[in-house]
Amino acid sequence: MTAPTPDTSKALQKALHNTRHRQLRALKDRFARWSIAAGGAGVIITIVLIFFYLMWVTLPLFQSASLHKTGQYRAPGNADAVTWHLAMEEQHEIGVRFTDHGQVVFFAADSGKIISQVDSKLPTNIDITSFAAGNPNKATVAYGLGDGRAQVVRHIYDVTYPDDHRLITPRLENPLGDAPLVVDPKKHPLVQLAIQINEDSATLVAVTDDNRLLLLGLEKSESLLGDGDWTTTRTTLQAPASPIRHIILNLDQRELYAADQKGRISFYDISDKSAPRLIQTVTAVGESVQISALQFLSGGISILAGGSDGSLGQWFPVRDAHNNYTLRAIRRFKPLIGPVTNITPEFNRKGFMAAGQRGQFNIYHSTAHSTVLSKILSEYDAHQLAIAPRANALLLENANQQIQFYLVDNEHPEISWSSLWSKVWYEGYDSPQYLWQSSSASNDYEPKFSLMPITFGTLKAAFYAMLFAIPLAILGAIYTSYFMAPRMRRLVKPSIEIMEALPTVILGFLAGLWLAPFLEKHLPGVFSLFIILPVGVLLFAYLWQRAPKLLRDCVPEGWEGALLIPIIILISWAAISISQPIEQWLFQGDIRKWLSNDLGIEFDQRNSLVVGLAMGFAVIPTIFSIAEDAIFGVPKHLTQGSLALGATPWQTLSRVVILTASPGIFSAIMIGLGRAVGETMIVLMATGNTPVMDFSIFQGMRTLSANVAVEMPEAEVASTHYRVLFLAATVLFAATFMFNTAAEIVRQRLRKKYSNL
């Protein structure tokens, strides 16, 4: 066998080396391919998981309410007595039943087992002719008597923890004294009664059997020892001609509503107890329909009127053209079949329950204008309803004196499509509004979770940012890639791209603390700059073209743009310098006052102009870089062929280069828009963060991203506020996804359309 020659050995070694190199390269290619595929799949999986997590948190907002029956029993206590009122304490362990015999029965809410029976200490041999319950948070009720007097009672629940076990002990007290109060000195029976009481005042309003409307006001006088005497004011109000069927007092004891037999509601101002006055009488139900139930919504501003035809309506006072309060019908709810027998509001939310004939039972929410639940709970008419203070339990007594105990699951009744995206007429407002107000210092708070103002603010901020960024970025990309000298391009492009590395929190900080005050101080100069600068640049370009050829030849081709730097600086300095003289000359020294008084335009220091400049500055590098790469990447044979056929550089640019690069330019704009929509720190620090729907450039806004950043740390986990913030994040996620999807679809179509050039 012939031994291999040295040349043959080298050839074999080289072939072996090449084979190993190809195998290694193939292995690297496969590794890179699988790594990229895994990375892409990981991104997709991450996005899908984020979406499902957002949906998992927000879906409970749209779940309907549910009832779980856990007990049914005969009404505890005297079987011959009629229940006039049911109530529960906060833990919904103990219920209380007030009867027409004056008995007060405390019982276990889930089983009906009697805990104690208390005598309300009413006078003997005097008929009980009426009953009223005041603010449920005060747990105060009143009995109207046949001799024109009234006895006020409060049910109280003392909580102790013997042996580390909770023990609730119910009891009664008489907050206005043991003796009944004289409401009618003429001693006529009180057939209707209303009461409200707080620490230093109380008001009782009664209707006598001869249809007189009487008011008894009590004020507690102050003393050095802390215990003052009660001073009394008695007044007779102007009663409707038709017999009164219902009367209710608001919580601050300033307004009275009386419903008569003809379905009319009379609205009284009783803030001055010695001189109350009738403000208005309105017809609340249809013709030949009576008001069968009248009640206040939580907070004591709105009233709920139920009709004998099953209708349900919400009313509250609204200022008219003369700045006077008048009662207005705000909204109608899904009616019951037959008369509304009972309306019971929730303690601390704007929801309420309504019951009717044959066990009809509905749960509503006024702000959401929705029917949260609709069920038939019994074959008998519902007579009494009681809801726990936390709105998580319910007692219902039907006409057969059967009490049913339910656990209620109704966590987020405030949310509906209309409350999120439509105008809502909130209490205290003169008209329907789009409002975001997630918290309030008032106990009468009505949730305002409209996503429209913050969605509008997001689009507004993005619009002004793109209005500033698109022209500068796209035109700059065109000039840099097509007209600029290669050496200058190598300096300019990295300089602009490095701007993207600047943290947006720094931009927001500078915009809020420096740019906003600067623009406010030099507003005329800034707006004059928008006019003077383009005119000055065009004028300089014209003069440069008219300059001697010897002078123009001193500047290499493609470096002409550098000459504009001192010109732009000079023009900007001149515009800012003349700002104060212009303001003094044209606007009497105060342009903000002129905008407000003469044009009716409010000026906010941190406004859309500031956001547009700051966020536009942040978006420009993204749009510029992608667009410049797309334009520079247009094949040279296309431009050279166009020029060879006699087209001018401008014709080549507009009819060949821009069309070919249009998919990349469009992608640059949409990616910039996506970043502007999702920007947080700049809009957080450079705007007033006020959720207003005003497109004015001088007003601020609140965006979806900034709203989440501001309020999420303060939101209670799993609360409605918390979940609505996640819903806002979902809306932002969906908007960004739709923008990117639309951009990709359009980009692919443009790419296909111009790929044959």
- For 127-153, the pLDDT digits (tens) are 899 999 999 988 999 999 999 999 999
Q: How far apart are CA 658 and CA 644, in angstroms?
A: 18
Q: How far apart are CA 466 and CA 543, in angstroms?
A: 32
Taking only Cα atoms into account, the Rg of the chain, rounded to an integer number of angstroms, comes to: 38
Nearest-CA neighbor of 342 among 357, 330, 327, 332? 357
pLDDT band at 359 (very low <50, low <70, confident <90, very high): confident
- Decide: helix, strand or coil at residue 84: strand
Q: How far apart are CA 349 and CA 372, in angstroms?
A: 13
Domains of the chain and CATH, by start: 66-415 (2.130.10.10), 452-754 (1.10.3720.10)
pLDDT of res. 440:
65
Question: Which of 28-42, 218-232, 608-622, 699-713 is predicted with the least confidence, judged by mean pLDDT?
Answer: 218-232
Q: How far apart are CA 640 and CA 261, in angstroms?
A: 93
Strongest mean pLDDT among 29-33, 41-45, 221-225, 244-248: 244-248
- Cα distances (angstroms) measured from residue 134 to each of 452, 505, 531, 598: 37, 53, 67, 51
pLDDT band at 6 (very low <50, low <70, confident <90, very high): low
- Decide: helix, strand or coil at residue 127: coil
Q: Where would I find the H helices in 354-444?
A: 417-421
Question: Which of 245-259, 289-303, 382-396, 681-695 is predicted with the least confidence, judged by mean pLDDT?
Answer: 681-695
Give me the chain's average pLDDT, please. 89
Residues 99-134: pLDDT tens digits?
988 899 999 999 999 999 988 778 888 889 999 999
pLDDT of res. 229:
76
pLDDT of res. 748:
78
Q: What are phi and psi of 387, to 5 degrees?
A: -120, 145
Nearest-CA neighbor of 113 among 408, 403, 407? 403
Question: Which of 44-48, 315-319, 551-555, 688-692 is predicted with the least confidence, judged by mean pLDDT?
Answer: 551-555
Question: Which of 26-30, 349-353, 362-366, 370-374 is predicted with the least confidence, judged by mean pLDDT?
Answer: 26-30
Q: Is the pLDDT of residue 462 over 70?
A: yes
pLDDT band at 171 (very low <50, low <70, confident <90, very high): very high
pLDDT of res. 324:
84
pLDDT band at 499 (very low <50, low <70, confident <90, very high): confident
Q: How far apart are CA 255 and CA 300, in angstroms?
A: 9
Tokens standing for 507? Answer: 């931009």
* Beta-bridge partners for 145: 128
Tokens standing for 483? Answer: 């007209």
pLDDT band at 246 (very low <50, low <70, confident <90, very high): very high
pLDDT of res. 642:
86
Q: Is the pLDDT of residue 441 over 70?
A: no
Q: How far is CA 268 from the centre of its chain?
A: 33
pLDDT band at 541 (very low <50, low <70, confident <90, very high): confident
Nearest-CA neighbor of 178 among 152, 145, 144? 152
Q: Is the pLDDT of residue 757 over 80?
A: no
Q: Is the pLDDT of residue 443 over 60?
A: no
Q: What is the mean pLDDT of residues 557-578?
A: 87
Whether the pTM exceeds 0.75: the reply is yes
pLDDT of res. 146:
92
Q: What is the mean pLDDT of residues 205-229?
A: 82
- The CB-based long-range contact list for 18-25 (8 Å cut-off, 24+ gap) reads none
Residues 636-659: pLDDT tens digits?
888 888 888 888 888 888 888 888
* Beta-bridge partners for 143: 131, 151
pLDDT of res. 583:
84
Percent of the chain with pLDDT over 70: 97
Q: How far apart are CA 388 and CA 644, in angstroms?
A: 86
Q: What is the mean pLDDT of residues 418-429?
A: 92
Q: How far apart are CA 683 and CA 618, in angstroms?
A: 12
Residues 709-726: pLDDT tens digits?
999 988 888 889 999 999
- For residue 640, the one-letter residue type is Q
Residue with more model confidence, 245 or 500: 245
Q: What is the mean pLDDT of residues 185-200?
A: 92
pLDDT of res. 342:
92
Residues 571-612: pLDDT tens digits?
889 888 888 888 888 888 888 888 888 888 888 888 899 999
SS3 percent helix, strand, coil of the chain, rounded to 5, is 40, 25, 30
Tokens standing for 500? Answer: 């993207």
Q: Is the pLDDT of residue 1 over 70?
A: no
Nearest-CA neighbor of 213 among 294, 292, 293, 277? 277
pLDDT band at 736 (very low <50, low <70, confident <90, very high): confident
Q: What is the mean pLDDT of residues 401-422?
A: 93
Question: Which of 26-35, 119-128, 387-396 is predicted with the least confidence, judged by mean pLDDT?
Answer: 119-128
Q: How far apart are CA 367 and CA 349, in angstroms?
A: 10
Residues 463-496: pLDDT tens digits?
999 999 999 999 999 999 888 888 888 888 888 8
Q: What is the mean pLDDT of residues 723-744?
A: 88
pLDDT of res. 126:
87
* Beta-bridge partners for 85: 98
Residues 277-319: pLDDT tens digits?
999 999 998 888 999 999 999 988 999 999 999 999 999 999 8
Q: Is the pLDDT of residue 682 over 80?
A: yes
Q: What is the mean pLDDT of residues 222-249?
A: 83
pLDDT of res. 226:
57
